[in-house]
Structure 1
Amino acid sequence: MPFEADIAHALDRTTDSLEPDLTALLGGAVERGRRRRRRRNAGVLAGVGACAVIVASGLVIPGVLAGSRSAGSGMETVALAMPRSAVTGDQMIEALERTFPGGRFSQVTGQSNNPSDPSSGYVANGGLVVDDGHGAAYVGVSAVRLKLPLGDGDGLSCKQSPARAKGDTCTLSELPSSVEIPGGAVVMSERNAAKHPSRADTAHRWTVTVTLKATGAQLQIVQWNSTGGGSGSDVPKPTRAAPPLSEQQAVAALTGATWAPILGAVG
């Protein structure tokens, strides 16, 4: 996912043990770098600029460094598959803004994928700071397609080496097959502190990853309770207590009408 703001993005999803530094560009978009987020995998391969974007956003894209294994990790990077059709950065931004009707947006960034050119990345993403009246928050979404059959990997397993820091959480669940989600989906939800031990003024990142079992299409939304992502002192102080969307709201949004066209294009 050639994001001009996430070199860390590649690293982001590349290591479970790494805390992606996503402060600048996507302002907290993806933290998948920790586990070599499959999404950034493609983006990372697309270029250093793309990696930097992902890192800045905090998005975690599985398979960022497809075929690679992070030091000390027992988890293989998730392999990416070519998207069925192109998704533009503008489409990602539009869908993201529609996810927060009535919100005020700033620091808007989008990145297209390019199915015809693997060097340009297989990951599409969008990121922005949204103010929904309860405090500004950075939010980013990435879209990618995983190779089938699905296996252990980013967005598919809570296993991590080394173990998660105290206070960080990860849960896995499944959505049954339906008209909207033929074949069902795997949902991974995480909450991570920007630094440890966390304090009252430590920002947190909430990540929800939805992977369709029939196609491998995957959407990941990363929300910060601050105006930027990253880790440690690089992350702005919290601007609110909770993310704009709860876990249930995030899952409903990613599997609803707004993101359906992007899920279909990716997978």
Structure 2
Amino acid sequence: MPFEADLARALDRTADSLEPDLTALLGGAVERGRSRRRRRSARVVAGLGAGLGACAVIAVAAGLVAPGGFPGTRSAGSDMEPVALAVPRSAITGDQMVQALELTFPGGRFSRVSGQSNNPADPSGGYVANGELVVDDGQGAAMVGVSAVRLKLPLGDGGGLSCERSPARAKGDTCRLSELPSSAAVPGGAVVMTEQNAAEQPVRADTARRWTVTVTLRSTGAQLQLVEWNSTGGGSGGDVPKATRTAPPLSEQQVVAALTGAVWAPILGAVG
């Protein structure tokens, strides 16, 4: 699932949170421009950027949505139902997202830093907070990004909660669901979805890959998704810079520990 598919799901989430229900949300793109079936009325989101921080304004019917959409999106072209968002409990600034992201990669050198705030007081401001940067930990520069949203309860089978995919994955792509037990850090437990996806097909030796870890709290619907590339940029196919390293900066276990640890606890509490 290429990077812009991630962007698509976050934009879908934001659109689903708007009231009244929009019956003809038009747009397109998110780099792939594939039509998506919807449980409700047909919607298409317009606007995109080559990187996470580039997507700041989305046209939504009569108004504008600026979710910043980054990771946390569902696959473009899939038949999965859209995910409805709930209002975040309090505002999270783009600076907060960036600071937490930098603390997640201690000792790294950062460049191309950008962030996007959410706005719980105004749906047109977007309900998705995110941050993005390129980190160099001495093993090769890598783009990383994170998003924070709150899903409506009860949780369904939407983004970050199901490994169902269409179209078929590239060779070597993986997706796995697991559970975290209830604890002080994860009240009520959490669903963890981990993915690895090639940027293009057929996969070559220098093809970039993307690793995604999504943690969703069962009790509140608060969700964090962290995306790591083994290249310096997102995109699809030949638009993605070639691999700069073989593995992501952090392993799956390290990402889960970080997203459920002290650095991200204030973000999880604010969003959910």
TM-score (norm. length: structure 2) = 0.79
1 or 2, which has the higher helix percentage?
A: 1
Residue 139 of structure 1 corresponds to which residue in structure 2?
A: 144
Deviations 1:18-43 (A, max 9, x none): 9867873328x99xxxxxxxxx9x97
Per the TM alignment, residue 104 of structure 1 is displaced from its structure 2 partner at its CA by: 0.3
Report whether the alignment pairs 1:200 with 2:205: yes
What 5-or-longer segments of structure 1 have no aligned partner?
Answer: 1-5, 31-39, 65-69
Unpaired stretches in structure 2, ≥5 consecutive residues: 14-28, 33-47
Amino acid at match of 2:170: A
CA-CA distance at 1:44 after TM superposition? 7.8
Cα distance in 1 for residues equivalent to 2:6 and 2:224: 19
Aligned Cα root-mean-square deviation (Å): 3.0
Q: 2:255: which partner in 1?
A: 250
Aligned-pair CA distance for 1:160: 1.4
Partner of residue 194, structure 2: 189
SS state at 2:113 partner: strand
Paired residue type of 2:193: M
**Do the aligned residues in 2 keep the contact of 1:144 with 1:266 (CA within 8 Å)?**
yes
Whether 1:60 aligns to 2:72 is: yes
* Matching of residue 114 in structure 1 with residue 119 in structure 2: yes
The corresponding residue for 1:37 is: none
Q: Which amino acid aligns with 2:189?
A: G
Q: Output one character per residue of 1:209-238: Cα deviation in whole Å (capped at 9) or x when no partner.
A: 000000000000000000001110110011
Give runs of ≥4 in structure 1 deviating > 4 Å: 11-15, 18-23, 42-48
Q: CA deviation at 1:116?
A: 0.3
Give the Cα separation in 1 of the matches to 2:153 and 2:172: 33
On the 8 A contact 2:9/2:159 being kept in 1, the answer is no
Which residue pairs with 2:51 in the alignment? 25
Residues 7 and 44 in structure 1, CA contact (< 8 A), matched pair in contact too: no
Alignment length (residue pairs):
237
Q: Mark the structure with the bigger radius of gyration.
A: 2
Tell me the percent identity: 70
Q: Is the 8 A contact 2:224 2:259 kept in 1?
A: yes
